[in-house]
């Protein structure tokens, strides 16, 4: 999967592409509107991550351009403004999702994976990790060919972990992923712990391996083995 | 008291005193004039009678009006005029008289001539003057009242209209004030000053708001960089536990700043009337949806949610406003609750009432809706939730208030 990252802040650009490369994506970078336009006209990308506030142009225009030339490309808008207008215009123009700065890289990755599943597998993908399998069409997790009886939150959590395999996910990022950033309940980390405990228990019950490792004081990590 | 009433009261008081003074003066002038007239008449009559006696004509005596007597002893001529009171057989009553008592020597004989003229009693003067004055005062009162109404309806109308405009003026609305012009110098000068003042206030407020907005925006990108770098740093294989924990705590702090930043942006955005698209929203439905979000927290703290959905309320508002408002209120009711506590949600008429059990308030209830006022200062909460809710209510013209009773905290939002 090839991704173009359009972001004028060099440091952020490097961080994003660094993280995504480790997840196995091929990343290209553009830090101005003109460079982004050039690349979009010359090459094809599976996903474009687009900061819409660029110093030399409005990112929304790039969406129009892209929709005409490559309608299949997935577009994820990144904006510093948590503005409903931008969000609606962006989505109207054909963007697939919208994320507000600052964001967790793991969340960005999870959103990109969701777009890929929707766009390229028509929501009908199976994510397989050893004995653990996720059927995204029926939103069902399977361990050793036996379906797990997961709650919606536990399913979301497992999907989030598997798409961010081998990555330390902080409790903050997990909480935000599960409950959104509008909920300002300060001590929601206990709830993260409860969900992880239950998820782990259910996987172990069906004879699965405990891939969920606690990274002390930081968060959790879904390990390879 | 209205200015017009106050000035009229003075006018009236002043005029009344003046009228009473005029009445008193009138009384003295009138009595004096009549007294002089009568004296003059009595003196003339005495001269005529003396003339008659001199000509040896008979003079008819008419007591008590004309009394003539010849005296035995000689006395020098004299003339005394004074007031007296005596019985008048005609009136059959004691009456006041003006009396002329004269001694005249005619043809060697001494005569005493007493002439009297009935005069008006003082209370007759009083009565008629008082009657006139009181009538004048009453007329004055009535005409002042009528004049007042006329003036209020015409001259003062722009003033009261403008006063209402000023009362309704709010910086958040970012609308210039509409004033009714008047051809009265004071009022038009006042209008000009108010317009200038409100324009200045509006401009200042806008630039302040823009500053906050821009500052918040500018902060988002560096915050993103810090957050991303820390997140990447956390992924390093060779971090020891202590290092990881330190990075994590820096990471959590960055998150906190960015949340605060977002909340501030939200506050300004609400103030900017940013969410303009309005639709009809069912409060019961929106509540149901929001409660679902909080399910985990409600279950974990074993809260008992008492959801008394009366008649549903439909509100014409922007959806983000309603969602943020309800989310904040439910969040608040959960956050400040006790283990195994209660939340009661009620729809009463046009009002939404959310109550929760909880410890007594440590801040002044009047400051509850202010920014950064937190029940527990060490809490990780931002302390902006309630002021955001209040702002949403203000912008939409809804009433929001807080009451507490028996360790139950109640927030009421009136949507009418």
Q: Looking at the complex, report in whole angstroms how far the Cα of residue B242 sits from the nearest Cα belonging to chain A.
A: 9
B359 touches chain A (CB under 8 A): no
Chain A positions touching B227 (Cβ under 8 A) are 102-104
CA B203 to chain centre: 29
Cβ–Cβ < 8 Å for A94, A62: no
Chain A positions touching B258 (Cβ under 8 A) are 102
Per-residue pLDDT for B151 more than 90?
Answer: no
Closest by Cβ to B228, choosing from A16, A84, A85: A16
Confidence (pLDDT) at A58: 86
Alpha-carbon torsion (A136, A140, A141, A143), positive or negative? negative
Cβ–Cβ < 8 Å for A134, A148: no
Q: Looking at the complex, report in whole angstroms how far the Cα of residue B312 sits from the nearest Cα belonging to chain A.
A: 25
Q: Which of A99, A184, A216 to mutate to test the interface with B (most CBs of B within 10 A)?
A: A184
Per-residue pLDDT for A13 more than 90?
Answer: yes
Higher local confidence (pLDDT), B33 or B406: B33
Confidence (pLDDT) at B126: 85
C-alpha distances in Å from residue A188, one per residue of A192, A195, A198, B70: 7, 11, 16, 133
Cβ–Cβ < 8 Å for B373, B385: no
Per-residue pLDDT for B378 more than 70?
Answer: no
Residue B346: count of CB within 10 angstroms of its CB: 16
Q: Do A184 and B227 touch (CB under 8 A)?
A: no
Q: Do A179 and B235 touch (CB under 8 A)?
A: no
Backbone angles phi, psi at B158, to 5 degrees: -60, -35
Residues B352, B344: Cα–Cα separation, whole Å: 11
Chain B positions touching A177 (Cβ under 8 A) are none
Strand A140-143 relative to strand A132-135: parallel, antiparallel, unpaired? antiparallel
Backbone angles phi, psi at A97, to 5 degrees: -155, 175
Q: Which of A101, A103, A151, A215 to mutate to test the interface with B (most CBs of B within 10 A)?
A: A101
Q: Do A181 and B275 touch (CB under 8 A)?
A: no
Residues B233, B254: Cα–Cα separation, whole Å: 14
How long is chain B?
416
Residues B14, B214: Cα–Cα separation, whole Å: 63
Cβ–Cβ < 8 Å for A51, B224: no
For chain B, give the percent of residues with pLDDT over 70.
96
Per-residue pLDDT for A93 more than 90?
Answer: no
Per-residue pLDDT for B373 more than 80?
Answer: no
Instruction: Tell me which DSSP letter residue B383 carries.
Output: S
Radius of gyration over alpha carbons of chain A, in Å?
18
Beta bridge partners of B106: B109
Q: Looking at the complex, report in whole angstroms how far the Cα of residue A187 sits from the nearest Cα belonging to chain B.
A: 8
Per-residue pLDDT for A94 more than 80?
Answer: yes
Confidence (pLDDT) at A27: 94
Confidence (pLDDT) at A105: 92
Q: Do B228 and A12 touch (CB under 8 A)?
A: yes
**B377 falls in which pLDDT band (50, 70, 90)?**
low
Confidence (pLDDT) at A181: 67
**A182 falls in which pLDDT band (50, 70, 90)?**
low
Confidence (pLDDT) at B379: 61
Q: How many contacts, defined by CB atoms under 8 Å, are there between A and B? A: 124
Per-residue pLDDT for A172 more than 70?
Answer: yes
- Tell me if residue B170 falls in helix, strand or coil: coil
The segment with the largest mean pLDDT, out of A35-49, B70-84, B231-245, B253-267, is A35-49
Closest by Cβ to B217, choosing from A80, A172, A194: A80
Q: Do A101 and B251 touch (CB under 8 A)?
A: no
pTM reported for the whole predicted model: 0.65
Instruction: Tell me which DSSP letter residue B365 carries.
Output: G
Per-residue pLDDT for A6 more than 90?
Answer: yes
Q: What is the pLDDT of residues B53-111, one digit of tens each?
A: 888 888 888 888 888 888 888 888 888 998 888 888 888 888 888 999 999 888 888 88
Query: Comparing C-alpha atoms, which of B101, B56, B49, B98 is closest to residue B75?
Result: B101
Chain B positions touching A103 (Cβ under 8 A) are 224, 227
Backbone angles phi, psi at A78, to 5 degrees: -115, 130
ipTM: 0.82
pLDDT, mean of residues B32-52: 91
Confidence (pLDDT) at B71: 86
Q: Looking at the complex, report in whole angstroms how far the Cα of residue B404 sits from the nearest Cα belonging to chain A.
A: 22
Lowest-pLDDT range of A106-115, B49-58, B210-219: B210-219
pLDDT, mean of residues A56-84: 85
Chain B positions touching A194 (Cβ under 8 A) are 296, 300
pLDDT, mean of residues B32-42: 91
Q: Where are the alpha helices (DSSP H) in B235-318?
A: 241-271, 283-293, 295-300
Per-residue pLDDT for A186 more than 60?
Answer: no
Q: Which pair of tokens denotes residue B253?
A: 């702090």
**A184 falls in which pLDDT band (50, 70, 90)?**
low
Residues A213, A211: Cα–Cα separation, whole Å: 6
C-alpha distances in Å from residue B181, one per residue of A58, B195, B258: 46, 11, 49
For chain A, give the percent of residues with pLDDT over 90.
37
- Using the CB atoms, write b or e for A64-86: b if 16+ within 10 Å: eebeeebeebbbbbbbbbbbbeb
Strand A168-170 relative to strand B93-106: parallel, antiparallel, unpaired? unpaired
Q: Which pair of tokens denotes residue A124?
A: 């009908």
Report angle CA B287, B394, B269 to the nearest 5 degrees: 85
pLDDT, mean of residues B297-321: 85
Residue B145: count of CB within 10 angstroms of its CB: 11
Strands lying side by side in the sheet with A26-30:
A26-30, A2-6, A47-51, A74-79, A97-100
Report angle CA B127, B13, B9 to the nearest 5 degrees: 135
Radius of gyration over alpha carbons of chain B, in Å?
48
Taking only residues 218 to 237 of chain B, the set having a beta carbon closer than 8 angstroms to any beta carbon of chain A reads 220-221, 223-229, 231-232, 234-235
The segment with the largest mean pLDDT, out of A86-90, A187-191, B98-102, B179-183, is B98-102
Residues B100, B78: Cα–Cα separation, whole Å: 10
B350 touches chain A (CB under 8 A): no
Q: Which of B222, B223, B225 to mutate to test the interface with A (most CBs of A within 10 A)?
A: B225
């Amino acid at each position: 999967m090839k991704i173009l990252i359009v972001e004028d802040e060099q440091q952020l650009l490097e961080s994003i592409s660094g993280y995504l490369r480790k997840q196995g994506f091929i990343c290209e970078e553009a830090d101005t509107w003109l460079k982004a336009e050039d690349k979009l006209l010359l090459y094809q990308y599976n996903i474009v991550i687009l900061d819409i506030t660029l110093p030399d142009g409005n990112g929304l225009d790039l969406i129009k351009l892209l929709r005409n030339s490559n309608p299949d490309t997935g577009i994820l808008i990144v904006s510093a403004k948590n503005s409903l207008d931008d969000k609606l215009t962006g989505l109207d123009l054909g963007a697939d999702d919208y994320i507000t700065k600052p964001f967790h890289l793991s969340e960005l990755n999870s959103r990109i994976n969701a777009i890929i599943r929707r766009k390229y597998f028509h929501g009908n993908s199976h994510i397989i990790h050893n004995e653990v399998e996720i059927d995204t069409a029926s939103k069902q997790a399977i361990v050793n060919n036996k379906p797990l009886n997961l709650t919606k939150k536990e399913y979301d959590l497992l999907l989030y972990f598997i798409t961010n395999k081998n990555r330390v996910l902080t409790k903050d990022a997990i909480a935000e992923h599960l409950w959104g950033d509008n909920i300002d309940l300060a001590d929601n980390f206990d709830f993260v712990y409860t969900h992880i405990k239950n998820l782990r228990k259910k996987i172990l019950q069906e004879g699965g391996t405990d891939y969920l490792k606690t990274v002390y004081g930081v968060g959790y990590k879904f390990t390879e083995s | 008291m209205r200015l017009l009433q106050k000035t009229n009261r003075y006018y009236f008081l002043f005029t009344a005193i003046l009228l009473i003074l005029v009445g008193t003066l009138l009384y003295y002038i009138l009595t004096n004039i009549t007294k002089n007239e009568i004296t003059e008449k009595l003196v003339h009559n005495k001269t005529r009678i003396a003339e008659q006696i001199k000509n040896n004509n008979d003079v008819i005596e008419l007591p008590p009006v004309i009394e003539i007597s010849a005296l035995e002893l000689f006395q020098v001529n004299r003339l005394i005029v004074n007031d007296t009171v005596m019985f008048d057989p005609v009136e059959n009553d004691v009456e006041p008289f003006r009396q002329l008592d004269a001694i005249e020597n005619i043809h060697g004989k001494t005569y005493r001539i007493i002439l009297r003229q009935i005069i008006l009693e003082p209370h007759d003067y009083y009565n008629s003057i008082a009657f006139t004055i009181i009538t004048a005062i009453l007329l004055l009162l009535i005409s002042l009242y009528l004049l007042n109404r006329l003036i209020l309806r015409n001259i003062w109308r722009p003033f009261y209209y403008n006063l209402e405009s000023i009362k309704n003026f709010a910086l958040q609305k970012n609308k210039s004030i509409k004033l009714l012009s008047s051809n009265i110098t004071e009022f038009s000068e006042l209008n000009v000053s108010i317009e200038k003042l409100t324009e200045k206030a509006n401009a200042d407020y806008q630039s302040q708001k823009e500053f906050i907005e821009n500052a918040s925006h500018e902060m988002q990108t560096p915050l993103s960089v810090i957050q991303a770098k820390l997140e990447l740093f956390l992924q390093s294989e060779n971090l020891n536990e202590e290092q990881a924990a330190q990075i994590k705590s820096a990471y959590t702090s960055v998150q906190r700043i960015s949340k605060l930043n977002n909340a501030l942006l939200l506050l300004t955005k609400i103030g900017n009337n940013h969410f303009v698209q309005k639709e009809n929203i069912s409060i019961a439905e929106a509540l149901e949806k929001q409660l679902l979000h909080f399910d985990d927290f409600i279950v974990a703290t074993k809260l008992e949610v008492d959801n008394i959905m009366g008649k549903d309320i439909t509100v014409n508002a922007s959806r983000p406003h309603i969602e943020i408002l309800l989310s904040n209120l439910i969040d608040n009711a959960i956050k400040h609750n006790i283990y195994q506590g209660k939340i009661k949600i009620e729809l009463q008429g046009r009002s939404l009432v959310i109550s929760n059990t909880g410890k007594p308030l440590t801040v002044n209830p009047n400051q509850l809706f202010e920014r950064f006022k937190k029940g527990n200062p060490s809490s990780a909460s931002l302390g902006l939730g309630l002021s955001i809710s209040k702002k949403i209510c203000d912008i939409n013209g809804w009433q929001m208030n807080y009451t507490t009773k028996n360790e139950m905290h109640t927030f009421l939002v009136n949507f009418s």
